[in-house]
Amino acid sequence: MTRRQVRKVRSNHFDLIVAGAGIAGITSAAAAAGRGLRVALVSTGPGSFVLGAGCVEVQNMDRGMPSLDEAMGFFRNLTELAGCGFRGGLGEVRYIPTILGSFQTVSLAPFYMWSGEPEAAAQVAVVGIKGLSSFDSNFVAERLVYHAGLLGRGSTYVAREIELSIAEGTVAGTLQFGNRFDRDARFRAELCDALRPIAAKASLIILPGILGLKSGQEEIEGLEKELGCLLCELPTLPPSVPGMRLFNRLEARLRRAGVEFFTGFPIQKLQIENARCKGVLLDTPARPLRLSSESLILATGPFSGRLLGNHSFGVNGDLRPVDATGALIAENLYAAGAILRSSSSARGGNAMAILTGYAAGMLAAGAGVQYAQG
């Protein structure tokens, strides 16, 4: 553990405040911290990490968009450092299964999902867990066969079921299993033993997300190695265990990089004076907590209107919000992520979040990244 550099600065003053700990906020904070900025990350909740697994679709984006390559590379590297490495890249497209038995077309996905693409002549076992109401391997296998057929892929999907011990007075649940995977070596061994006979006859096992909320490459690749079989872990209904794992890992990575977290208190208001954002007031007990900074990135999601006075806004070419007349709301204010979403479609949302998050973080760090709105 390296000793933290103590800088003689005003308390609660930072180079950059990032508001929002979703994919965009995390990426922008990481980008800026990577450029040496002292970053505060203010958030309530983990954004969409609780819903999915962070897979990135880029088909709808203009591949030639400046910085898209750089942003994706940065994000991949960040996840690697966090122990939840993403695989893939802009030029790639893989079909990853979903719990509806359909396929998601993604360009980047975490390593514990990346193997999910149906390969020719592969024997795939879809493994359910007895008593788990949120995942039925027969249903998923049958639908995957159908959808794989539409794609012209030749994989065989067979449904299997394992039984795992559950705590007394409980029913099987992904959150329970995920927590026990983290805390209980005997549970991990039990899971491995249960999967072993299935792994012996399959090249890939598709299973519901239960492989821990704090785990990383070591634990999951370790399991794959033990089994001699690849795993594709699917996020089930919220809370998505793989999604929360990614969030926890990224958060830990950012803490190690010196990002200061202020978790659990909404922003009361942005302090903007003379078109310059001075900081934020957080809605904390007894008195608002004032955080000041040289710049601010708003990555607070699609329902952030209140923070900008409920006026509709656009962003200029370097991600800074402008009002209806086209004037900058504040010269040191940036926006990233779903807050920029113009339609109700969430397709490609993670890609947009990573791109704009990275770009905003670099712009705030004065790193002259080129960004043009897609």
Partner 1 sequence: MRKDDVSLDNCLKCSDCNTACPVVTAHPAYPGPKRLGPELERMRREGIECDTDWVEYCLGCHRCDLACPNEVNVSELIARAKATHKKTPIRKMRDWWFARPGLLGKLLTIAPGVGNFALGLKPVRLLMSTFMKITPERTFPAYSKSTLNTPEAATAKQGERVVFFPGCFIKYNQPELGCHVLQLLQLNGFKPEVAVSGCCGVPSLANGDPEEARKRAEANVLSMIDAVDAGARIVTACSSCGHMIKTGFGNMLEGDAELAKKAGRIAASTFDLAELLVAQQDEGKFNTQFAPASSNRKLAYHAPCHQKSQGIGRPWYNLLQQIPGVEMEDLNAGCCGMSGTYGFKEEKYPVSMEVGSELFAGIRASNPQAVVTECATCQMQIEHGTGVKAVHPVDILLNAYKPGARI
Partner 2 sequence: MEKTQVVIIGGGATGAGILWDLSLRGIPAILLEQRDLANGATGRCHGLLHSGGRYVVKDAHAAQECVAENKIIKHIAPHCVHDTGGLFVQCRQDDPAFFEQWYESCIKIGLPSDRLSADEALGMEPNLPTDILGAFTCPDAHVDVFQLTLSNIESAVARGAQFKTYCEVKAIDIAGGKVKGVRYRDTLTGDEGYIGCEMVINAAGGWAEKVAELAGVEVPLRCDKGTLLILNHRLSSRVINRCRKPGDADILVPAGPVCILGTSSITVPGPEGLTVSQEEIQHLIDLGTELVPALANARVLRIFSGVRPLYVPKSASGAGGREISRGFALLDHEALNNVKGFISIVGGKLTTYRMMAQATVNLVAEKLGVNVPCTTHEVLLRQAHDEAALRKAHKLLPLPVVEKADKRLGPNLAKIVSAIEARPELAEVICECELVTRAELEYVLGTETSLPAKTIADIGRRTRLGFGPCQGTFCGYKAMLAGFQTHRWNAAEASAQFERYLDERWKGQSSINQGKQVEQLYLSHDLFGVAYNFHDKKAGEEGA
Applying CB under 8 A, which residues contact partner 2?
48, 51-53, 98-105, 130-131, 133-134, 136, 138-139, 142-143, 146, 171-172, 235, 237-238, 240, 302-303, 343-347, 349
CB 308 within 8 A of CB 273: no
Residue 185 contacts partner 1 per CB under 8 A: no
**Short-list 224, 219, 164, 166, CA closest to 199:** 224
Question: From residue 245 to residue 264, what is the string marking binding to partner 1 with x (rule CB under 8 A)?
Answer: ----------x----x-xxx
Tell me how far, at minimum, the Cβ of 238 lies from partner 1, in Å.
5
176 binds, among partner 2, partner 1, none (CB under 5 to 8 A by kind): partner 1
Looking only at the bridges linking them, the beta strands covering 314-315 and 321-322 are antiparallel
Residue 218 contacts partner 1 per CB under 8 A: no
146 binds, among partner 2, partner 1, none (CB under 5 to 8 A by kind): partner 2
Handedness of CA 172, 178, 181, 182 (dihedral sign): negative
Determine which residue in the list 122, 158, 164, 175 makes contact with partner 1, applying CB under 8 A. 175
**Considering beta carbons, is residue 179 or 271 the nearer one to partner 2?**
179
Interface with partner 1 in residues 269-298 (CB under 8 A): 282, 284-287, 289
Residue 346 contacts partner 1 per CB under 8 A: no
| Phi then psi dihedrals of residue 101, to 5 deg | 75, 10
- Secondary structure E strands in the chain: 13-19, 39-43, 86-88, 94-97, 103-106, 108-110, 123-129, 156-162, 204-208, 230-234, 260-263, 267-273, 276-282, 289-298, 314-315, 321-322, 333-335
Residue 238 contacts partner 1 per CB under 8 A: yes
**CA 179 to CA 194: how far, in whole Å?**
18
Q: CA 70: distance to chain centroid?
A: 18
Instruction: Tell the residue number behind the tokens 């030639």, with chain if given.
Output: 64
- Cβ-based neighbour number of residue 54 at 10 Å: 30
CB 116 within 8 A of CB 108: no
Tell me how far, at minimum, the Cβ of 239 lies from partner 1, in Å.
4
Residue 165 contacts partner 1 per CB under 8 A: no
Residue 212 contacts partner 1 per CB under 8 A: no
C-alpha to C-alpha distances, 138 to 120, 127, 145, 196, 257, nearest whole angstrom: 21, 9, 11, 19, 44
314 binds, among partner 2, partner 1, none (CB under 5 to 8 A by kind): none
286 binds, among partner 1, partner 2, none (CB under 5 to 8 A by kind): partner 1
**Considering beta carbons, is residue 281 or 367 the nearer one to partner 1?**
281
**Short-list 26, 73, 17, CA closest to 48:** 26
Residues of this chain that interact with partner 1 (CB under 8 A) are 1, 3-4, 6, 10-12, 44-47, 50-51, 166-170, 173, 175-176, 179-180, 183, 213, 238-239, 244, 255, 260, 262-266, 282, 284-287, 289
